Structure 1
Amino acid sequence: MGSQSAFDTGRLTRTCSWMQRYVDQRKYAGSSLLVKHNGSEVFYYACGHRSVEQDLPFERDTIVRIYSMTKPVTTVALMMLVEQGLVHLDARLSDILPEFSRMQALISGAERLDQTEDAPSPTLHQLLTHTSGFSYPFNPGLLPEAMDEVDLLFKPNQGVLADRVSDLANLPLAFQPGTRWEYSVGIDVIGRVVEVISGQPLDQFFTQKILDPLGMHDTGFSIPSGARDRFASLYTPLAGDMMELNAAETGDDTLRLVDEAGSSPFENTTTFSAGGGLVSTLDDYSRFAEMLRNHGVGNGHRLLGSQTIEFMLCNHLPGDIASLGPQSFAEQPMNGTGFGLGGAVVIDPGRAGVPGSVGDFSWGGMASTFFWIDRVNDLSVVFLTQLSPSSSYPSRAELKALVIGAMIE
Structure 2
Amino acid sequence: MRFRALASGSALIALLAGGALAYGTAPQAQLAAPASRPALPATQALFDSYVATNKMPGIVGAFGSGDLPTIFVSAGRIADEPTAAAAGPDSLWRVYSMTKPVTGMAAMILVEEGKIKLDQPISDFIPAFKNMRVQINPDSLETRAAARPITVRNLLTHTAGLGYSIVTKGPLLAEYNRLGLTPGAINAQLEILARMTRPPTLEAFANRVAEAPLIADPGTKWSYSIGLDVMGRVIEVASGMPFDTFVQKRIFDPLKMTSSYWTVPRSEIGQFATNYAFQREATVQLAAGRPVDVSTIDEKARTPIDPAASSVWLSPPSFPYGGAGLVMSARDYDRFLHALQDGGTLDGVRVMKPETAALMMSNLLPPGVTYTQTQVGAGPGPKTGFGAGGSVFLEDKPGGPSKGTYGWGGAAGTAAWVDPARRRRGAIMVNYFPGDKWPIREETVAALMSDIAHYK
Check conservation: 2:371, 2:385, Cα contact below 8 A: no
Q: Is it true that 1:300 corresponds to 2:324 in the alignment? A: no
Match for residue 361 of structure 2?
313
Corresponding residue to 1:5 among 6, 30, 42: 30
Distance 1:329 1:123, change over 3 A: farther
The offset of 1:226, in angstroms, is 1.4
Q: Is it true that 1:380 corresponds to 2:418 in the alignment? A: no
For the residues of structure 1 that align with 2:378 and 2:247, how far apart are their CA atoms? 26
Match for residue 38 of structure 1?
66
- Segments of 5+ residues of structure 1 without an aligned counterpart are none
Greater relative contact order (CA < 8 Å, ≥ 6 in sequence): 2
For the residues of structure 1 that align with 2:371 and 2:217, how far apart are their CA atoms? 13
- Aligned CA RMSD, in angstroms, stands at 3.1
Check conservation: 2:340, 2:420, Cα contact below 8 A: no
Q: Is it true that 1:104 corresponds to 2:133 in the alignment? A: yes
Check conservation: 2:59, 2:429, Cα contact below 8 A: yes
Match for residue 169 of structure 1?
210
Once superposed, which parts of structure 1, at least 4 consecutive aligned residues long, lie more than 6 Å away? 7-11, 318-321, 328-334
The SS at the match of 1:382 is: strand
Distance 1:342 1:219, change over 3 A: same
Q: Is it true that 1:402 corresponds to 2:447 in the alignment? A: yes
TM-score (norm 1): 0.87
Q: Is it true that 1:52 corresponds to 2:99 in the alignment? A: no
Which residue type is aligned with residue 439 of structure 2? P
Per-residue CA deviation, residues 235-284 of structure 1 (Å, 9 max, x unaligned), is 1225349xx9xxxx997564221102232121111320011111111111
Which residue type is aligned with residue 303 of structure 1? V
Check conservation: 2:42, 2:450, Cα contact below 8 A: no
The SS at the match of 1:304 is: coil
**1:2-401 alignment to 2 at 5 Å?**
2-5=27-30, 12-41=40-69, 43-53=71-81, 55-56=83-84, 57-107=86-136, 109-142=137-170, 143-156=172-185, 158=195, 159-224=200-265, 226-239=267-280, 240=283, 254-270=301-317, 271-317=319-365, 323-324=370-371, 336-348=383-395, 355-401=400-446
For the residues of structure 1 that align with 2:377 and 2:267, how far apart are their CA atoms? 32
Check conservation: 1:183, 1:329, Cα contact below 8 A: no
The SS at the match of 2:61 is: strand
For the residues of structure 2 that align with 1:153 and 1:402, how far apart are their CA atoms? 37
Check conservation: 2:131, 2:145, Cα contact below 8 A: no
Check conservation: 2:343, 2:357, Cα contact below 8 A: yes
For the residues of structure 2 that align with 1:238 and 1:188, how far apart are their CA atoms? 30
The SS at the match of 2:445 is: helix
> Which deviates further from its counterpart, 207-216 or 311-320?
311-320
The offset of 1:2, in angstroms, is 4.2
Check conservation: 2:165, 2:173, Cα contact below 8 A: yes
Which residue type is aligned with residue 50 of structure 1? I
For the residues of structure 2 that align with 1:330 and 1:132, how far apart are their CA atoms? 26
Identity within the alignment, %: 30
The offset of 1:150, in angstroms, is 4.7
For the residues of structure 1 that align with 2:231 and 2:69, how far apart are their CA atoms? 33
The offset of 1:13, in angstroms, is 1.4
Distance 1:164 1:363, change over 3 A: same
Structure number with greater Rg is 2
The offset of 1:350, in angstroms, is 5.1
- Segments of 5+ residues of structure 2 without an aligned counterpart are 1-25, 186-190, 288-293
For the residues of structure 2 that align with 1:348 and 1:186, how far apart are their CA atoms? 26
The SS at the match of 1:262 is: helix
Per-residue CA deviation, residues 273-312 of structure 1 (Å, 9 max, x unaligned), is 0111111111111111100001100132100000111111
Per-residue CA deviation, residues 127-152 of structure 1 (Å, 9 max, x unaligned), is 10111111211114333343245552
For the residues of structure 2 that align with 1:200 and 1:361, how far apart are their CA atoms? 28
